[in-house]
Amino acid sequence: MEVIDFLGRGWKFPFSAQRGSINGADGEESIKESIQLILSTAKGERVMRPDFGCRLQELVFAPNNMSTATLIKTFIEEAIMNWEPRVEVLDISVTPSADLPVLDISIDYAIKSSNSKYNLVYPFFLESVGK
């Protein structure tokens, strides 16, 4: 069995079509896109699967500080553990920006079947209140 067969194939995220066919993603790319989909989907957003997603959207108006960064790390660990069984999260770092309402999230993960290590950077934008 090939690694790509084990890791799966699916629709590309974000969804796109070309010449009448749906673009797909294979292997490691499908895992990266799956993690991005989990992080960008709010819990309760999907009618048929209300538990799917991550609680990040609950923190859109939270202050840009280490307390929020710690909550984000916890929410991401929980979401990836529940919804992406093909990976093991090695480390998550959340760094608040001093100037902008953004938190830089860096996720280090390993694919369980191949032990290959990857890094995903996901910026999380906080709405600035009163600006």
- Taking alpha carbons only, the member of 97, 96, 109 closest to residue 39 is 109
Average pLDDT value for residue range 114-125 = 92
Find the domain containing 41 and state its range.
3-125
What pLDDT is stored for residue 85 in this prediction?
93
**What is the tens place of the pLDDT at every residue in 45-101?**
999 999 999 999 999 998 888 888 899 999 999 999 999 999 999 999 998 877 778
Encode pLDDT of 27-44 as tens digits: 678 888 889 999 999 999
CATH number, position 22:
3.10.450.40
**Domain annotation covers residue 112:** yes
pTM: 0.77
Whether 131 maps to a domain, the answer reads: no
28 in a domain, yes or no?
yes
Is 2's pLDDT higher than 80? no
Residue 68: burial class (beta carbons within 10 Å; 0-12, 13-18, 19+): middle
As a whole number of angstroms, the distance between CA 99 and CA 70 comes to: 19
Domains held by the chain: number? 1
Angle between helices 66-83 and 27-40 (to 10 degrees): 130
Sheet strands (E) in 1-131: 9-11, 17-18, 21-22, 24-26, 87-96, 102-111, 117-125
Q: Is residue 130 part of a domain?
A: no
In a domain, 67, yes or no: yes
* 23 in a structural domain: yes
